[in-house]
Amino acid sequence: MIEAVKDTCNIYIMKNSGVRTFLIKIIRLNLKTLLINWFTKGNRKNNLIIVKSKFTSFIHHNAEINLNKGNLILNDTMRVSEPFVGMLEMQNNSTINVQGEFIVNSGMHIIVLDNAKLNLGSGYINRNVKIRCSNEITIGKNVAISENVTIWDSDGHAIIGRENDMTKPVFIGNHVWIGNNVTILKGVQIGDNSVIAAGSVVIKDIPANCLAGGTPAKILKQDINWQ
Tell me if 53 sits within 8 A of 83, measured CB to CB: no
- At position 207, the amino acid (one-letter code) is P
Q: How far apart are CA 205 and CA 128, in angstroms?
A: 24
Task: Work out whether strand 72-76 and strand 183-184 pair parallel, antiparallel, or are unpaired.
Answer: unpaired
Cβ distance 75 to 99 under 8 Å? no
One-letter amino acid for residue 226 of the chain: W
The secondary element (H helix, E strand) that includes residue 90 is strand 86-90
CB 198: neighbour CB atoms within 10 A? 14
Q: Catalytic pick from 60, 61, 109, 157?
A: 157
In the residue annotation, 60 being an active-site residue is answered as no
With contact defined as beta carbons under 8 Å apart, do 189 and 174 qualify? no
Strand pairing category for 130-133 and 109-112: parallel
Cα(first)–Cα(last) distance of the chain, in Å? 59
User: How far lies 37's CA from each of 42, 44, 48, 87, 92, in Å?
Assistant: 9, 9, 7, 16, 18
- Among all residues, which ones are annotated catalytic? 157
